[in-house]
Amino acid sequence: MKIISLNLNGIRSAVRKGLVKWIAGQNADVICFQETKAQIGQLNTIMPSFKDWHTAFSDAEKKGYSGVAIFSKKHPNAISKSFGFEEADREGRFIQFDFEKFSIVSIYFPSGSSGAKRQDMKYRFMEEFEIWLERRKKDLKKFIICGDLNIAHHEIDLKNWKANKKNSGFLLEERNWLSKIFHEYNLFDAYRTLYPAREDYTWWSNRGNAWDNNVGWRIDYQVIGSNFVEKIDTAEIFRSERFSDHAPLIINYVD
């Protein structure tokens, strides 16, 4: 089973950069998108290219903002677009597909980089998401949670960690929360499970030639339940083409 997670920074922009052709060559089973930045009614010219997929979007009320989606080759048994936090639901930050043997989530955590108000929203989001995890604690072993968490977990997960200790995305409170989530809910960072020491990143600022110099942050994850730990076969952060300021995170799981 091949699963791809990608923050698009706008699905229409990513399509113009070759996303459709790239996906056609990937033979993926499920693709989780974040930051689609479009309402479904704006995608009439794009969606025919994905006619072979079962697709669902959770859009933000605000046009051109946030939004998540899941594309699957197999029809899901159920779809949910809420994790119980109305403020986040209005911003289109969660979608879940349930299949017979597992569930997959595409999630987009808020960024707090624009100021204290958004950082407070990010903390509320984290608190509410932890409540959601607690309610599903017995079932999380069957979950794959894909998305842009907007948190770099450890120093190895961003290039300039010393300069970012007081910046959103690398605050100690955020990082400690992520550690707690992994520990208390028996969840695993799939990429780090396979590659514990690689200095790899999934997002690069558009400033200062960050992409060319590989000055990035690893903030995109596939967080997996215990059922999938032994099933990780390969993992890749794809950089040969660029569709966004994020790179696709591609993980293959085997039975």
Average pLDDT value over all residues in the chain: 97
Q: How many residues make up the chain in this entry?
A: 255
Residue 43 pLDDT:
93
Residue 136 pLDDT:
97
Mean pLDDT within 3-27: 97
Residue 112 pLDDT:
92
Residue 34 pLDDT:
98
Mean pLDDT within 182-205: 98
Distances (CA, A) of 39 to 11, 15, 21, 80, 165: 10, 15, 22, 17, 36
Evaluate if residue 204 carries a pLDDT over 90: yes
Among residues 52, 59, 108, 120, which one is catalytic? 108
Q: Which domains does the chain have, with CATH numbers?
A: 2-253 (3.60.10.10)
What percentage of residues in the chain have a pLDDT greater than 70?
100
pLDDT level of residue 194 (50, 70, 90 thresholds): very high
d(CA 48, CA 43): 9
Active site residue 157: no
Evaluate if residue 91 carries a pLDDT over 90: yes
Q: Strand 216-217 to strand 203-204: parallel, antiparallel, or no bridges (unpaired)?
A: antiparallel
Evaluate if residue 155 carries a pLDDT over 90: yes
Distances (CA, A) of 115 to 37, 110, 111, 121, 122: 21, 12, 9, 10, 11
Cβ–Cβ < 8 Å for 158, 152: yes
Residue 95 pLDDT:
98
Evaluate if residue 62 carries a pLDDT over 90: yes
Helix (H) / strand (E) element for 6: namely strand 2-7
Active site residue 59: no
Mean pLDDT within 166-190: 98
Evaluate if residue 93 carries a pLDDT over 90: yes
Mean pLDDT within 117-125: 97
Evaluate if residue 255 carries a pLDDT over 90: no
d(CA 83, CA 87): 11
Among residues 148, 189, 200, 220, which one is catalytic? 148
pLDDT level of residue 246 (50, 70, 90 thresholds): very high
pLDDT level of residue 61 (50, 70, 90 thresholds): very high
Nearest C-alpha neighbor of 144 from the set 171, 94, 92, 105: 105
